[in-house]
Structures are given as C-alpha cells and as structure tokens.
Amino acid sequence: MNKKILIINGPNINLLGEREQSQYGSKAIDEIKKECLDYSKKLKLSVHFEQSNIEGEIVNLIQNCRNSYNGLIINAAGFTHTSVSIRDAINILKIPSIEVHISNIYKREEFRHKSLLSDVVTGGIFGVGTGCYILAIKALDNII
C-alpha cells in the first residue's frame, strides 16, 4: 500500500521565515516542505503540501482528503482558535489526524491557549519548532 499523507497549513504559514522568527524560527515553508518530502521518501510515504489563508478552502481540502489520503497533518494556525468549520470537517474524517504548531500555544497569548481542534484529532505536537512536521509524519507512519 502506498501511504499518502496530506499536510495542510493555515493562514500566514506562507510567510514563515519572514514573520516573528522568535516564535517560528527562520525556515521558510519551502524548506520545511523539502525536509518533509525527503523524510517521507525514506519511509516510502507520499506527502502532499497545501497552504491557504482562506478558511473555506481549508475545509474543502479536509473534506476532499477523506477518500484519497491515509492521514492528515494540520497546522491551522490562527484558525485553530476560531474555526468551528475546520473542527467539524476534521471530526468527519475517518483517517488519523495530527495537529501541529511550531510554537507552544500554551506559552503565548491567552486566546491561543484554546484549540478547537485538539479534541477531534488523533494527536498533537506543539512547541518543538518546525520539526513538528517530521514528528507528525513519523507518528502517522506508525499509526497507519
């Protein structure tokens, strides 16, 4: 079986490397994507990256992945704390899902302490920097 994982990144993740380097580090999203693709090849996984600043597009990506992917990794970014629609789409999935955050959301502003996704995903990884994506790929490989 060719295991397929979809990685979805939410708003402003396209600006990694430019924005708030004290929180997110200096790696651009293209560097993270390359690291993930290289790592997934070693595991014989197929990984596909998506990024959107638009909530409805993220919901569509989640809905569309349910029949064509074996696992989902999502960094919903700011939508983590606000989007019931993304939460509901993940809750419908029958595939394992991992929530990731580059920063530790519990060491940040109070409004970031609540994730609307955490209770509907299989697991979560946060606060370990951009390596959270590799850890999530490894976790999904073990799960699926």
The catalytic residues are 24, 101
φ, ψ at 73 (rounded to 5°)? -115, 130
Q: What radius of gyration, in Å, describes the C-alpha atoms of the chain? A: 14
Residue 56, helix vs strand vs coil:
helix
Distances (CA, A) of 16 to 8, 29, 104: 14, 6, 16
**Cα–Cα dist 135/122, whole Å:** 14
